[in-house]
Structure 1
Amino acid sequence: MATMNISLPDPMKNWVDAQTATGRYSNASDYVRDLIRRDQERLAKVAHMQMLVDEARQGGISDETMEDIRVRALHQAGLKR
């Protein structure tokens, strides 16, 4: 595992110390690793959502009404014939 030293303003260091004092994190490194994991997950979700938006935009505009779409979705789900 690599080591990284960072500098924080006092209020941020106090925040990190407070988070570790709750017992949820064993030390500041655990807290920072958790923040990084969460940020990685968030960015992956944003990228996935952007991919879905891009696909939808490439699909063009539908002539179907919302009711048409609802009926088709229910039919495909086997909830209505």
Structure 2
Amino acid sequence: MTNIQISLPESMKVFVEEQVAKGDYSSASEYLQELIFQDQQCKGQEGKRTQLITKLQTQGQLNDEEFELIADKLADEFALCVGSNLPVLSDYAVTRSPL
């Protein structure tokens, strides 16, 4: 493993220390590694989503697997934005049928 030095405003340093103190992470390094990992995952999914949206725009349709991938990703992103206290939606909450 390699080291990197970063500078943080005091408020961010306190926040990182609070996350470690809660016991969610064993160190500030582990917390930052997790954030970077999540960003890497997000960026990889953005590429897949862009490809699927391009396919939708050019061909006018997605197969069921592609639709489910996009729907699941949007639900995950929504949960990240509003928190983990969301009610679970059934598969019937998202439909391809026109209204």
Report the TM-score when normalising by structure 2.
0.59
Matches within 5 A, 1:42-53: 42-53=42-53
* Equivalent residue pairs, number: 63
Give the deviation of 1:45 after TM superposition.
1.4
Give the deviation of 1:10 after TM superposition.
0.1
Could you say which residue in structure 2 is the equivalent of 1:76? none
SS of the aligned residue for 1:58 comes to helix
Partners in 1 of 2:3 and 2:21 — Cα distance? Answer: 22
Partners in 2 of 1:60 and 1:28 — Cα distance? Answer: 46
Moved more, 10-19 or 45-54: 45-54
Give structure 1 regions of 4+ aligned residues with deviation exceeding 6 angstroms: none
Could you say which residue in structure 2 is the equivalent of 1:10? 10
Could you say which residue in structure 1 is the equivalent of 2:55? 55
CA RMSD of aligned residues (A): 1.7
Could you say which residue in structure 2 is the equivalent of 1:27? 27
Give the gaps of 5 or more residues in structure 2. Answer: 62-95
Partners in 2 of 1:53 and 1:60 — Cα distance? Answer: 10
User: Kindly, what percent of the aligned residue pairs are identical?
Assistant: 35
